[in-house]
């Protein structure tokens, strides 16, 4: 398991206020290189609304995404968190763990929270006193969560495109690296699950990073490829969008996107982490330092 770490100099308490603890995050965490030539204003987002709504009508069939994710991540589960075998996953895992303290003010001890696509799971570490359910479509991945939590937390198999929770009963849906199901149907289903004002928190591989590394490797930009322990290629869905288009999609479905920011390896308060080969490769194509290249985009939204 990757060591728990924090984002350097960052907490919701230090940058927010009592009514909205997320105020101020946009200025602090948005990486300029990610947003070159764009502006996260209401006018700019509005211009993307119609094009995104039209584009989502032609997205992959959710059934195909579910089937492929279950197959691929089921195969990868025994080795997915092996830093030696999958160093890029390890870089991303560190960044997800670093978010926990930052996101902690978003959960309350009497709330009901669901983590989707959980893998080994981390939401129970964020919401230690709340009611938490860890879910994944892959029984093998869910087995990692069950092994780690040892019966302390509910772990349930769930397809995000067919959630089994009653509408309006969930206070927060969390998806750490939600790119396998970054589809309009997921956001619609999560919106139905959430109570009024309930929060949706998703992280995604940064779009510019994903396009750079996949182009360099000659891969489709909506897929990620792993080399398993037998040396075989395993592909899985990985849908990313420019941040402005991701926000437009979420707003079109009925979310108030309250904050978004990018994470890079130099935001980790653990000394100097080692970038993977693929992180370095993408950074070279983007003409960025691998430690400052944006790797993960974070979105915090509320149901309206």
Residue 133 in any domain: the answer is yes
The two structure tokens encoding residue 35: 């947003």
Q: Within 13 Å and on the Cβ side, how many CA atoms surround 196? A: 0
Residue 2 in any domain: the answer is no
3-state DSSP assignment of residue 203 = strand
Interacting residues of 249 by C-beta distance below 8 A, sequence separation 6+: 52, 53, 56, 184, 187, 241
Residue 35 in any domain: the answer is yes
List per-block mean pLDDT (blocks of 10 residues) for the chain, which spans 304 residues: 47 36 34 38 57 51 94 98 97 95 95 98 93 98 98 97 98 98 97 98 98 97 96 97 96 97 89 92 98 97 97
For 13-22, the CB contacts below 8 A with 24+ separation are 13/105, 16/105, 20/258, 21/105, 21/106, 22/258, 22/259, 22/300
DSSP bridge partners of 225: 235
How far apart (Å, rounded) are the C-alpha atoms in residues 247 and 257? 7
Residue 65 in any domain: the answer is yes
| Residue 45 confidence (pLDDT) | 56
Q: How many domains does the chain have?
A: 1
Pair 295, 105: CB distance under 8 Å = no
Q: Is 159 left (phi over 0), alpha (psi -120 to 50) or beta?
A: beta
Domain hosting residue 197, numbered range? 12-99+109-303
Residue 7 in any domain: the answer is no
Residue 208 in any domain: the answer is yes
- pTM, entire model: 0.85
Residue 228 in any domain: the answer is yes
Domain containing residue 77: CATH number: 3.40.50.150
């Amino acid at each position: 398991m990757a060591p728990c770490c924090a984002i350097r100099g960052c907490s919701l308490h230090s940058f927010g206020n009592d009514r909205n603890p997320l105020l101020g995050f946009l200025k602090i965490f948005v990486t300029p290189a990610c947003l070159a030539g764009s502006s996260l204003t209401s006018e700019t987002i509005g211009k993307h609304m119609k094009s995104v709504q039209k584009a989502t009508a032609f997205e992959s069939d959710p059934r195909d995404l579910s089937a492929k994710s279950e197959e691929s991540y089921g195969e990868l589960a025994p080795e997915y968190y092996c830093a030696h075998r999958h160093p890029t996953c390890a870089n991303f895992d560190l960044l997800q763990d670093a978010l926990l303290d930052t996101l902690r003010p978003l959960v309350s001890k009497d709330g009901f929270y669901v983590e989707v696509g959980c893998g080994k799971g981390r939401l129970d570490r964020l919401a230690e006193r709340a009611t938490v359910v860890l879910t994944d479509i892959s029984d093998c991945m869910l087995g990692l969560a069950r092994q780690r939590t040892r019966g302390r937390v509910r772990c349930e198999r769930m397809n995000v495109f067919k959630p089994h929770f009653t509408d309006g009963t969930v206070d927060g849906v969390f998806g750490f690296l939600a790119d396998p199901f970054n589809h309009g149907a997921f956001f619609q289903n999560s919106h139905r699950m959430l109570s009024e004002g309930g929060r949706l928190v998703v992280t995604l591989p940064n779009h510019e990073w994903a396009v750079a590394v996949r182009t360099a490797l000659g891969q489709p930009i909506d897929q990620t490829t792993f080399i398993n322990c037998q040396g075989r290629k395993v592909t899985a869905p990985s849908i990313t969008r420019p941040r402005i288009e991701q926000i437009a999609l979420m707003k079109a479905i009925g979310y108030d996107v309250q904050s978004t920011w990018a994470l890079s390896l130099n935001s980790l308060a653990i000394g100097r982490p080692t970038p993977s080969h693929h992180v370095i490769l993408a950074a070279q194509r983007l003409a960025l330092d691998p430690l400052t290249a944006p790797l993960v985009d974070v979105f915090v939204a509320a149901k309206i």
